[in-house]
Amino acid sequence: MMEINTLIKDNPSFHVWGDGSPANFGVSNAVVQAIQSKLKPQSITLETGSGKSTFAFLLKGCQHISIAPDPGEGDRIKQYCIKNGLSINYTFIAESSAKVLPSLITTIPSLDFVFIDGAHRYPFAEIDYHFTEQKLKVGGYMVIDDVHMPSVKQLYRFLKKEKNWILDELVGNTAFFIKTGEEILVNDWQNQGINEYFLHYSNWRFKMISFIKAILGKK
Ligand X SMILES: C[S@@+](CC[C@H](N)C(=O)[O-])C[C@H]1O[C@@H](n2cnc3c(N)ncnc32)[C@H](O)[C@@H]1O
> What count of residues does the chain have?
219
**Identity of the residue, 43 or 97, whose beta carbon is nearer to ligand X in the bound complex:** 97
The residue among 99, 94, 47 whose CA lies nearest residue 70 is 94
Footprint of ligand X on this chain (CB under 6 A)?
A: 14-15, 25-27, 48-53, 67-70, 73, 96-97, 117-119
d(CA 177, CA 149): 17
Shortest spacing between CB 194 and ligand X, in angstroms: 25
**Identity of the residue, 126 or 162, whose beta carbon is nearer to ligand X in the bound complex:** 126
State which H helix or E strand residue 75 sits in. Answer: helix 71-83
**Identity of the residue, 44 or 68, whose beta carbon is nearer to ligand X in the bound complex:** 68
Cα 73 versus chain centre, distance = 19
d(CA 146, CA 149): 6
Shortest spacing between CB 52 and ligand X, in angstroms: 4
| Plot region of 79 (φ>0 → left; ψ -120 to 50 → alpha; else → beta) | alpha
Cis ω on the peptide bond leading into residue 69 (within 30° of 0)?
no
**Identity of the residue, 51 or 140, whose beta carbon is nearer to ligand X in the bound complex:** 51
Shortest spacing between CB 110 and ligand X, in angstroms: 21
Shortest spacing between CB 184 and ligand X, in angstroms: 30
**Identity of the residue, 98 or 194, whose beta carbon is nearer to ligand X in the bound complex:** 98
**Identity of the residue, 70 or 126, whose beta carbon is nearer to ligand X in the bound complex:** 70
| Residue facing ligand X at closest CB distance | 51
Report the chain's terminal Cα–Cα distance, integer Å. Answer: 77
d(CA 101, CA 108): 10
Gyration radius (Cα) of the chain, Å: 21
Shortest spacing between CB 96 and ligand X, in angstroms: 3
Shortest spacing between CB 211 and ligand X, in angstroms: 51
d(CA 158, CA 26): 26
At 44, the amino acid letter reads I
